[in-house]
Amino acid sequence: MTNASGPTTMLDGGAIIGAMRQAALDTIVALPDITTSAGLLWPISRQPDINLVRICKEDEGVSICAALALCRKRSALLMQQTGLFDSLNAVRGIAVEYELPVCMFVGLLGKEPGVPPPQNKKYSVRVVQPVLDAMGVPTLCIEENSDIPKIPAAVDRAYAESRPLVVLFGRRVKA
Partner 1 sequence: MMLRTECLKEIAKVRGDALVVGVYSSAFEWIGISPHPLNFLSVGAMGQASSSALGFAIGLPDRKIIVLDGDGSLLMNLGSLVTIAGVAPANLTHFVCQNGCYEANGEHPIPAQDMVCFSGFARAAGYRLVTEFSDLDTLRAELPGFMQARGPSFATLRVRAGEKPTLDYSLVHGPESRRTFQANLNALLDSRA
Residues at the interface with partner 1 (CB under 8 A): 27, 51, 53-57, 59-68, 70-73, 89-90, 92-94, 97-99
Cβ 100 vs Cβ 94: under 8 Å: yes
At residue 152, the 3 state secondary structure works out as helix
CB of 87 to partner 1, least distance (A): 9
CB of 16 to partner 1, least distance (A): 23
- Name which of 46 and 72 has its Cβ closer to partner 1: 72
CB of 127 to partner 1, least distance (A): 21
Phi, psi for 67 (deg, rounded to 5): -65, -40
Cβ 174 vs Cβ 39: under 8 Å: yes
| 35 alpha-carbon distance from chain centroid | 12
CB of 89 to partner 1, least distance (A): 5
- Name which of 91 and 125 has its Cβ closer to partner 1: 91
Radius of gyration in angstroms for the set of CA atoms belonging to the chain, rounded to a whole number: 15
Positive or negative torsion for Cα 88, 64, 54, 74: positive
- Name which of 30 and 148 has its Cβ closer to partner 1: 30
